[in-house]
A and B are shown apart, each in its own frame.
Chain A
Amino acid sequence: MTDRTTTPPPAAPKRRAEHYVNREPWDPYVAERLTAEQEKYYMAGQWKLMWWRFRRHRPAVVSMVFLALMYLSTVISEFIAPYNLQTRSSAYIFAPPQQVHLFHDGKFFGPFVYGHKTTRDMETLQRVYTPDPTKPQPLRFFCLGDSYEFWGLIEGSFHFVCPPKGGHFFWLGTDRLGRDMFSRIVYAARISLTIGLIGITLSFALALVLGGLAGYYGGWVDMVVQRLTEIIKSFPHLPLWLALSAALPVTWSPLVIYFGITLILALLDWPGLGRAVRSKLLSLREEDYASAAQMMGAKPGRIIGRHLLPGFMSHLIASATLSIPSMILAETALSFLGLGLRPPITSWGVLLNEATDINVVAVNWWLMLPVVPVILVILAYQFMGDGMRDAADPYA
């Protein structure tokens, strides 16, 4: 109040106020300037955000790298395996693993193995293999060895590692027909790892269709699908899997059996995913944007596929990843019991089928080695799935 009286009266206004124009371009973010880092964060799409969150989960990243390497190896199994899937060395039946040495007589020699001397134990009539430490046999690298058909198409004989000239290289021993275990494990990875992927694709498709129908339409469709999932979920899977795979005719070719088994695995696996799809759709179809699309005349297929599904796709993929290991395991179990894949198609389960007789395994422990990749892959999938689920969850 006092101010007004003390300040001098304002100068008389000019006739027209000068119109002030700033020639600088308008900066809309003048109020809240973002650092480059913040801007990157705010501009990132949902998949990018998820990737950043996933990256923070160390074990998950390590597992992903491991799995990527494993899958990469299935592409070039032929190069990695020193022998063919079916190469037999009849002189070396149940040969124990050969150690790879670097030093011979205290001197560096490069990677080499010692040859085996075979004798027969006259009491047990077993072959006894003793390493012969006088002659080191150097391994060959990037070499030509067993010939193969790369993916059944291109002939070749290039390997990363070959057995030494005139010798053998059984890194993980041989089986009852003298076939190299390491090569067989490498080849078997191709089948064991893909069966999970193909199976999950089928199960994913089933879950999307059936869960989608149930969730979007509700009513009796929902009722039927719900009962079906309940029955499948509550029934023990293994006996059913056994019954179904026993029903595959023996006369089918191994490749058809392979697809049959995948289908059987998928048939019992979809309810978990289907239930997730259904419950999400049930809640999302009430959203305004779904009604808007409906009123504009979009067909159900478009609404589900274009508007609703992308909202929870990341979640679905994460839960699908978590059910891949159970599929790999189921195939291993079936083949292990002799009702799954059958030779010449070779998976880790088929290899383990040779380890069913404990008396044989007790003497030739390396027959159990396929257990190692199975467990490693399952662990890796579980870590990666956990990481993906955490990353896909916006509230984490």
Chain B
Amino acid sequence: MSTEPISPIPDAECLHRLRHGDADAFEVIVRHFERPLRSWLATQTPPGVDSDEIAQKTFIAAYSRITEFEPGTHFASWLFTIARWQLKTETTRLRRVADYHARYAPDLLHLELQRNREALPDLVATRLDHLRHCVQQLGNPLSRYLQWRYYDEIPLDEMASLSGRSVAAVKKQLWLLRQRLQTCIESRMTPAPERTPP
């Protein structure tokens, strides 16, 4: 499996402008990294944490601390390190909020996500591309449920009403949808076996 590594921008001129507080120069950074960063954070943030909020904090922190970035080193690594810090900080803060426990559960999932936190951002970006492909391959009726659940965000009972099925049957369809997509991603992520010459 090959993944396109995230580009190590910015170049020397961009860095120079950033160090002089040029916000326009930073827009280039945000545009370049928002997709890999947001998608990576989406896979790493536990329930109850807004991954886009962490992404914004990460960019703001990077902008504010740009003088700490060492030219010649990998900018993406630096940015994702900040993101890990921001995520850890936010989850720590939320853990201290009274109503957090209920939103955070199940705690074991959180631990598992923590273990996976070193997952390469490039890998997540690849996974996202595969997921898009898998979504396009979905046929009816699962694509309807995908639309309702993730695009329209309608409640289960409304899906039941629209589909003429019970809520339990809707849940079953959602499970099948997620399983199908999961299997599809895994098969696309698995490297093809090398052919042996005849």
Q: Decide if A and B are genuine partners.
A: no
Binding site for B on A (CB under 8 A): none
Binding site for A on B (CB under 8 A): none
